[in-house]
Every structure is written in structure tokens, then in C-alpha cells.
Amino acid sequence: MKNARIHQCILLASVCLVAGAAFAAEPEDIIKYRQSVMKANGAHMAAAGAIINGKVDFKGQLGDHAKALQAINKDINSLFPKDSDFGETKALDAVWKNNADFQKRAKDAAQKADALAKTVAAGDSKNYGARFKELSDTCKACHKDFRKEEK
């Protein structure tokens, strides 16, 4: 019960992070918020991947991570508004210069995250890996074109 409550709190916090973007007024605040959301996204991807790949035995928590990924990826594009293209950010100028392509990729990520969440909710364990790989590949492709390389 305690673990379930913790995961509910994580999920709620993730949803609040995504929903709260509309209230950030300053570009600096938006950038910090975006970075926090993207870190949460990465953490949920890592946790879900560890479960799906059998590295840890927390199968009961997979649904929480899948729901969080669904919520976070619902509107990634809104995290990159005009005038948030400066400072300490890993986002490349291509996000804003090629925004139509970025929006398409963000929409694709939302669809893949939704498919993963629905597959997990349905208990279709035979397809967890395939849906997770589709989302992971979508994230990697977007990072390749729109995010500075990690050093």
C-alpha cells in the first residue's frame, strides 16, 4: 500500500508538472520547468525499461510509469514556447527553426506514450517491449535532431 501511494504521488506530480507549464510567465522559469519535466520523462523511461527488460521485478509499478509517460508526453511541444531558446538548455535552435517537424515529432511521442500506457493497462505483456521500443526510438530520433549531444 505504501509503494502504491508513493507511485500515485509520483504520477500526480508528473501530471502537475505538465499542467503547470501554462502558468509560468518568465522564459527562464519555462526553461527550468521544461528541464525538470524532461528529466522526469527520462526517469520514467529508465524505470519502465528496467521493468520491461526484466532488470528489476517491480511489474506492479509499470502502469504508474506508463501513465506518467502518457501525461508528460501529452503536450511536449508546449514546453518549448517562443522566446525560451536561450541560456542553459540542451534544446537546439532547430526546435524553433524547424518547429513544424518538432511538433510532428512531439505528437508522435504522445501517440507512442499513449499506446504504451494502453498496452500496459490492458495487461498485454506480450507487447510491452514493442510499445516501449517504439516510444524509445521516437525519443532518440527527436533528441538526435533537436537536442545537444551529451558529453
Q: Give the C-alpha separation, 149 to 119, whole Å.
A: 31
Provide Rg for the chain, Cα atoms.
15
Q: Give the C-alpha separation, 76 to 16, whole Å.
A: 14
Map residue 138 onto helix, strand or coil. Answer: helix
Query: Please, what is the average pLDDT of the chain?
Result: 89
Place of cell 551529451: 150
- What percent of the chain stands above pLDDT 90? 77
Higher-confidence residue of 21 and 30: namely 30
Q: Is the pLDDT of residue 20 over 70?
A: no
What pLDDT score was predicted for residue 88? Answer: 86
Res. 120 pLDDT band, cuts 50 70 90: very high
Q: Give the C-alpha separation, 64 to 111, whole Å.
A: 17
Q: Stretch 13-24: mean pLDDT, rounded?
A: 50
What pLDDT score was predicted for residue 24? Answer: 43
What pLDDT score was predicted for residue 5? Answer: 57
Strand partners, 31: none
Place of cell 509560468: 24
What pLDDT score was predicted for residue 4? Answer: 57
Least Cα distance to 74 among 41, 97, 43, 52 occurs for 41
Q: Give the C-alpha separation, 49 to 77, whole Å.
A: 24
Domain spanning 2-146: which superfamily? Answer: Cytochrome c/b562 (1.20.120.10)
Chain centroid offset of residue 133 CA:
14
Least Cα distance to 139 among 72, 67, 52 occurs for 72
What pLDDT score was predicted for residue 38? Answer: 97
Res. 15 pLDDT band, cuts 50 70 90: low
Weakest mean pLDDT among 22-31, 73-82, 97-106, 128-137: 22-31
